[in-house]
Amino acid sequence: MDKSDSKSLVKLEGNIAEYPFFSFAKSEGKIEKKVYKFSSIVLDDGKIEKRTLTLESPKEWGLPLAFDMDVLIAVSQIGTETNTLTDEIHLTLYEIAKKLDIPNRELKISESLLRMYYVNCHSEYCILVIDKKGKEKKYLTKKDYFHIFESVGLLDVEREQNRRKSRENTYVQFNRYFIQNFLSGYFQYINCSIYMSLETPTAKRLYLYLSKKRFGRTEFKISITKLANVIPITAKRITEIRRILKEASERLINQNVISGYQLEKGAMDITFYFPAQEIKGDDVPLLEGKDSTDSTRVLTTDVPINDNVVYEELINKGVSKGVAKQLITKYPADTIRHQIEWIKYREFKDPAAMLVSAIKDDWAAPKEVLDVEQKREEEKAKETMEKRIKNAKYIIFPSGERCKISRMFPNSEAIEYFIDEKKKCVILFNKALDCRFE
């Protein structure tokens, strides 16, 4: 791939990289529930909480599999290319199949999308959600259940032949928590070409996990049992886990994702070593994991650090070249762009110094920007809700209760529904945001 080809860069939501939403066991498709337990966490108030991630799915669908992870990456790639990750991602099954290089597998892909829609995810202090300002964060609890995809719209596979019509009516949308994280910048870029070339599910998943853990580090150490849990590796014997990790690590070395790893005989920890990032003259680091002329390997990082547009904008604002290179290497490109855009709303004596501080400390958006965004969000939420319920026959509450809808009230923005086919109740649209519709 050409180093300037940014189409291989994919925005991956932070929690997807961190936790095991996908299983690699061949029989897992028939399993309805899986509970992952992680080490306890100390909250800001000093309270210690246990962390768990529970995945539940209807028996006929089962839990998401390794193939579903590939499909999600392909969907994320399309969403990144079309800048629709925070909205409905309109696409075709054919497009996904082309990204995965698996022609004539549209039916399998449609089943994959639905499997990610039907899986219920319950987090107990695992899933992290960050507000748009980047200043507040919260961990979801069991009451905050969600699906990987909040909504999926599909045409019959036979109708995929009409590509234009299919693209208008086929879409997926991430859950509201993941969308919030995309908006706040809680994601990292991965190289889709590297991901697809890794071949084995374990190597791919390890790449996603390390792409998050490597940021700001030259090495990363973790116990092999903990790593086996977050991949996940279903083998129980330590010797088998070590063998699987070694095989996956060698594949990452071959793609220059890591420069090496250390897993000594009898040791219970594995250490990954990341390639050095190098900046020469006025050039910015390369994206690909290929050897440079002096054999210094360069790794795809959490930000697209070859973004010359951002680099030039920083220079134009008076930031020195050295500082500009450090900023685009260390901080998300979207954060830098936002702070450059918001500078017109701020008062300052030294614009360059203020801009550098704003990027490093992730200053909140000015009130003028927040007011516009809030109004846009309210209008978008209303529009999204109207689309979701337009042809719905049932409303499903967070408790799991499923009620038949009797009629809509578009003017008063409300829904009337039955309880046990007898009593009629009414709920406002803005009170139904946590509900699902069928």
Helix or strand or coil: residue 414?
strand
Residues contacting residue 90 through CB under 8 Å, at least 6 positions apart: 82, 84, 167, 168, 170, 171
- How confident is residue 308, by pLDDT bands cut at 50, 70 and 90? low
Could you read off the pLDDT of 181-215 as tens digits, one per residue?
998 888 888 999 999 999 899 999 999 999 888 87
Phi-psi region of 83 (alpha: psi -120 to 50; beta: other; left: phi over 0): left
Residue intervals in the chain for CATH 2.30.30: 368-437
How many residues appear in the chain? 438
Buried b (16+ CB within 10 A) or exposed e, 67-97: bbbbbbbbbbbbbbeeebbbbbbbbbbbbbb
User: Which residues on adjacent β-strands are paired with residue 120?
Assistant: 56
pLDDT of residue 282: 34
Amino acid symbol at 243? R
pLDDT of residue 396: 77
Higher-scoring residue by pLDDT: 376, 94: 94
CB-CB contact of 74 with 118 (8 Å): no
pLDDT of residue 395: 75
Average pLDDT, the chain: 77
pLDDT of residue 357: 82
Q: Which of 112, 184, 185 is nearest to 149 (CA)?
A: 112
Q: Which helix (H) or strand (E) holds 190?
A: strand 187-191
pLDDT of residue 303: 36
- How confident is residue 217, by pLDDT bands cut at 50, 70 and 90? confident
Could you read off the pLDDT of 117-160 as tens digits, one per residue?
999 999 998 898 987 665 678 888 877 889 999 988 886 544 44
Q: Which of 155, 146, 139 is nearest to 107 (CA)?
A: 155
pTM of the model: 0.62
Select the highest-mean-pLDDT range: 209-223, 271-285, 305-319, 369-383: 209-223
Task: Tell me, rounded to whole angstroms, the distance of Cα 273 from its chain centroid.
Answer: 24
**Widest distance between CA atoms in the chain:** 77
d(CA 345, CA 338): 12
Residue 21 pLDDT > 90, yes or no?
A: yes
Q: Look at the block and give the residue holding tokens 């909480």.
A: 49
Q: Which CATH topology does 368-437 take? A: SH3 type barrels. (2.30.30)
pLDDT of residue 274: 86
Select the highest-mean-pLDDT range: 39-48, 197-206, 310-319, 337-346: 197-206
User: Which residues on adjacent β-strands are paired with residue 42?
Assistant: 48
CB-CB contact of 145 with 53 (8 Å): no
pLDDT of residue 294: 30
CB-CB contact of 184 with 365 (8 Å): no
Task: Tell me, rounded to whole angstroms, the distance of Cα 19 from its chain centroid.
Answer: 11
Helix or strand or coil: residue 415?
strand
pLDDT of residue 400: 73
Q: What share of the chain is helix, strand, coil (3-state, %, to 5)?
A: 40, 20, 35
